[in-house]
Structure 1
């Protein structure tokens, strides 16, 4: 009976690992010639400045997402307020569910995540505007452990995998990460 419970807990906790995004170890910034947009006041805007600002805001949101989800996982707090500062649905709900499931099974996260994200696409003309991010996420030092005795949860070891994320600009001007996926079949 105890073995079956441990297997079930390990399976549920593996779902938590999938909630951590991993982005690719590749870079690929393409440039597209676009006409210079005109602001509402008639002045021309600089698309390169807009693109750079969008990239920076998206990467800041991504970094905040990784930090907030790591801290919430270490505290086993699915309602940590910092999560909603950087995440939006459907990813926000997925991260919260993963943290809650780990907590319900007596587990928590420890350690650190290493990240070096790259912007792969910027779509400022899309409604809403989006920025695609890839990262080679290194979770070898990030462990899922039982809170009671800090033993590693079986099958929850980390690694280096491709991860992708999407940052979306919301009507209030904030860039939030609303999609993230770990591609465990694509080591980097």
Structure 2
């Protein structure tokens, strides 16, 4: 009887010792005693930094797209080299066709286009990664005029309206605007 009691007692002690020595799963160790405290503000996580970089790159591509489009439209040059620097198909082809069409009809764009874009979404996990942009375009000072005498083409008055665009990161790392819609029926 005594042997049986000792066996149980030894088994319980071994089980307790084994549990005490085993590392706790899912529990991270706290700071070592005397360790220097970590700063109050946590460093930005890598995904947050990547998202910020994507936002900046997309907005730069969008601003480049607007500037290149204004320059190409003002010259009536559908193959202006800056267009392909900031645009990709299908939007690149659509912009080039619009500029060519205006030129064939003796018209060109002139004036100022005011933009106030904001990023509405960033999707870095999609394939390819994309950034959605919304803008309130003020085209009241941006006119389609006849090239020979600078008269405004009838029915082409500018408005303040909503515009949306999609920037896509291409395999070479560039962010290009490849989709865009001007919602002239939605004032802003």
TM-score band by shorter chain is 0.7 to 0.9
Distance in 2 (CA, whole Å) between partners of 1:112 and 1:172 is 32
Q: Which has the higher contact order (CA 8 A, sep 6+)?
A: 1
Aligned partner of 2:92 in structure 1 is: 92
What are the within-5 Å matches in structure 2 for residues 88-167 of structure 1? 88-167=88-167
Shift of 1:184: 1.4
Cα deviation, 1:22-66, whole Å, max 9, x if unaligned, reads xxxxxxxxxxxxxxxxxxxxxxx6111000000000000000000
Deviations 1:2-36 (A, max 9, x none): xxxxxxxxxxxxxxxxxxxxxxxxxxxxxxxxxxx
User: Structure 1 unaligned runs (5+)?
Assistant: 1-44
Structure 1 residue 185: Cα displacement: 1.5
TM-score, structure 2 as length reference:
0.76
For the pair 1:66 / 2:66, whether they are aligned, the reply is yes
Find the aligned partners of 1:68 and 1:56 in 2 and give their Cα distance. 18
- Per-residue CA deviation, residues 101-120 of structure 1 (Å, 9 max, x unaligned), is 00000000100100010000
Q: 1:6-25 alignment to 2 at 5 Å?
A: none
Q: Equivalent residue for 1:30?
A: none
Aligned to 1:24: none
Partner of 2:125: helix, strand, or coil? coil
Partner of 1:81: 81
Give RMSD over aligned pairs: 0.6
Q: 1:120-173 CA distances to partner (integer Å, 9 max, x unpaired)?
A: 000000000000000000000000000000000000010100000000000000
Partner of 2:3: none
Segments ≥4 residues shifted beyond 3 Å: none
Structure whose alpha-carbon radius of gyration is higher: 2
Q: How many residues align?
A: 144
The residue number in structure 2 matching 1:11 is: none
Distance in 2 separating the partners of 1:130 and 1:81: 24
